[in-house]
Structure 1
Amino acid sequence: MMNGVCAGNEIRKPCTTNGKSLIQTIRAWQAHWRCKKWMNERAKTGVSYEPTQLEHYANTISHAVMILPSILAGELMLRSSKCQQTAALHWSHSPSSHNFSAIHFEVSARVYGISLVSLFLVSTIFHWVTWCKTHHPTKTVGLADICCGSPLWEFLHLCDRGIIFLFISGSYTPWLMLNHVHPSLEWLRWGVWIFAAVGIIYSFILLEKYKLLETLLYVAQGLLPALAVASTTDGEHLHDLLLGGIFYLTGVLLFKSDGHIPCAHAIWHLFVAAGAISHFYACYTVLY
């Protein structure tokens, strides 16, 4: 009998460390972190994952720390937009660059700033309310007491998912409004918002039911406008956008890994924050 070991002519050697298969090793590793309360069992289809107390804390803090920086970033872009009536004549090589007036810069800055702040604020509120109700029922403020499992909690959950679609559209708005995109791609200026509306409607109807499809919608919305942006951005600054895209796409791998990887959702939050920082830097230095 083999019984988990490889048989040679005269000597038997373990197939893997401790005689376990790779899958068994991964499962043992996951069980170890579950025992330490770093994660719970993976949620079933159509059911929300129930984080541990540590995961609740990490989910909340990982985006809460980005609220103030995102407010400052939006304010910085807005102030810079006030100076763009003259600068708009110089930043683009296109002879029609004068078409971009100060109002274009201001509207883009406001949309970008609002979407950036909203992403981190809504996420923080949702995770904080869920955390308070789940682990501190006797010390919870009134809002949390009526929230978990209620229509209000479901609304916050929907907002937490829907704001991602709005954030993606808001992030692309400056690039699409302040660039001369190819005529065949001009529809993306309004198309990204149609996509966001479709994503929010999907979340409203099928929240947590088809998790893979939801993830693919985020990826599709993020990649499609990138084609237009990449075609209008010089190579000097393209690497900043590419870096942000790498952060976002890497984070996607963790987006639905709750129950497989400890604090997966919080780690995804950190990748989102890193992507947002990278894209803000590129947007501010190139367009503002």
Structure 2
Amino acid sequence: MDFKKTKFGKFMNCRVPASKRYQPTEYEHVANCATHGLWILPSMVGGSVLYFLSVDRWHRVAAWLYGSGLTGLFITSTLFHTAAWKISHLRKVEQRFHMCDRMAIYFFIAASYSPWLMLRELGPWTCHMRWLIWVMACIGSAYVCFFHERYKLIELLGYVAMGAVPALVILSMVERTGVCELAVGGVFYGVGVVFFKSDGLVPFAHAIWHLFVAVGAGIHYYAIWRYLYLPGTQLQTSRFTHVTQMKRPEAAEENIILPVTLSSMTDLVVDQTVWGAISSTGNGTMTAIWCWDETFGPHRPYNGAVCTGFLLLHDNAWPHVVRVCRQFLGG
């Protein structure tokens, strides 16, 4: 459909060749500024909420990175579109704002993944994505500095690749809660790219792209808040802390086995000593009463200090915990 021949034609200019940049109409300039400018304050508030919900240093660092990336994206986008609207005759200044806008996208992608990569447990190889994603953002920013607007397709593919590669790492996490919301947000970003490349074909195409970005970012923010920061869920984050209720078993015949699967094990840190918690499922020769009296009995005063639960801290040393458990039971 050719919108230029309809009543909506006044809201857009003609499409330009790929080597040139599209010049929006006055209506589109206003829409481009408003569709991201309106989200600056909510993004600042949202980042602050995550920061104040943090219970440890890693949650605070992740909240700061994510909030800065989210707010920075909306600020740089709004500044660039304002400059393109009001001071487009100052080509050098407008170009600098445009470069900052493009760089902010790379760092926004890295910041969006950081809470998941930092606060969820990853495998021995995939954990390197925690810093590799920031290297990718720096490389993308360097590309913008040296090849700004020269190879637009390569730049677009760079954004898509940076958004897709860490997603594969996220799928490898043991804890999968929140992956559905991440996928839905990714779909909004992907569909929005269609409008990102439709300037001159669809009225307000770039503003529509902005709305898809805002919706995708909102879904991802909800997932981060709900599954990583909401009170009661932070203690379930497998990389750092687990909370388990340690109540005295009622039946002495309940069997206890040494966990051979790492997912069934946590480690208790008391006075710098690491102990492996024993699973209460399966078959074995050791009774729950014996395990309670001999293993956790010495730490019962700590249990009383925190009501009915222990705070179990994970130090990512699963092989060490298995060895300690086996030595303890064998001795």
TM-score by length of 2: 0.66
- Which letter does structure 1 place at the counterpart of 2:95? E
Find out whether 1:204 has 2:177 as its counterpart. Answer: no
Return the match for 1:226 from 163, 167, 180.
167
Structure 2: how far apart are the matches of 1:44 and 1:202?
22
Structure 2: how far apart are the matches of 1:43 and 1:188?
39
Find out whether 1:258 has 2:199 as its counterpart. Answer: yes
**Residues 94-149 of structure 1: per-residue CA shift (max 9 Å, x gap):** xxxxxxxx111111100100110000011011111221235xxxxxxxxxxxxx44
SS of corresponding position for 2:15: coil
Return the match for 2:67 from 113, 119, 122.
113
Give the aligned partner of residue 51 of structure 1.
Answer: 24
Structure 2: how far apart are the matches of 1:257 and 1:207?
20
Contact 2:120 2:175 in 1 (8 A): no
Give the paired residue count. 229
> 1:33 and 1:62, CA in 2 relative to 1: closer, same or farther beyond 3 A?
farther
Contact 2:129 2:166 in 1 (8 A): yes
Structure 2: how far apart are the matches of 1:228 and 1:35?
43
Structure 1: how far apart are the matches of 2:183 and 2:81?
29
Contact 2:3 2:9 in 1 (8 A): no
Return the match for 1:274 from 200, 215, 224.
215
- Which letter does structure 1 place at the counterpart of 2:225? Y
Give the aligned partner of residue 78 of structure 2.
Answer: 124
Q: Structure 2 regions of 5+ residues with no counterpart?
A: 230-331
Q: Structure 1 regions of 5+ residues with no counterpart?
A: 1-25, 85-101, 135-147
Give the aligned partner of residue 278 of structure 2.
Answer: none
Find out whether 1:180 has 2:121 as its counterpart. Answer: yes
- Cα deviation for residue 35 of structure 1 reads 7.2
Between stretches 33-42 and 215-224, larger displacement belongs to 33-42
- Cα deviation for residue 239 of structure 1 reads 1.5
**Residues 163-191 of structure 1: per-residue CA shift (max 9 Å, x gap):** 00010001111111111112121221111
Q: Which has the higher helix share?
A: 1
SS of corresponding position for 2:178: helix
- Cα deviation for residue 271 of structure 1 reads 0.3
- Which letter does structure 2 place at the counterpart of 1:132? K
Structure 1: how far apart are the matches of 2:141 and 2:6?
34
Between stretches 256-265 and 71-80, larger displacement belongs to 256-265
> 1:224 and 1:51, CA in 2 relative to 1: closer, same or farther beyond 3 A?
same
Say what the alpha-carbon RMSD is for the aligned residues.
1.7
Give the aligned partner of residue 64 of structure 1.
Answer: 37
Find out whether 1:103 has 2:44 as its counterpart. Answer: no
TM-score by length of 1: 0.75
Contact 1:211 1:256 in 2 (8 A): no
Runs of 4+ in 1 over 6 A off after TM superposition: none
Contact 1:45 1:210 in 2 (8 A): no
SS of corresponding position for 1:183: coil
Find out whether 1:239 has 2:180 as its counterpart. Answer: yes
| Structure with max Cα Rg | 2
Find out whether 1:285 has 2:226 as its counterpart. Answer: yes
- Cα deviation for residue 238 of structure 1 reads 2.0
Return the match for 2:5 from 32, 40, 45.
32
Contact 2:87 2:94 in 1 (8 A): no
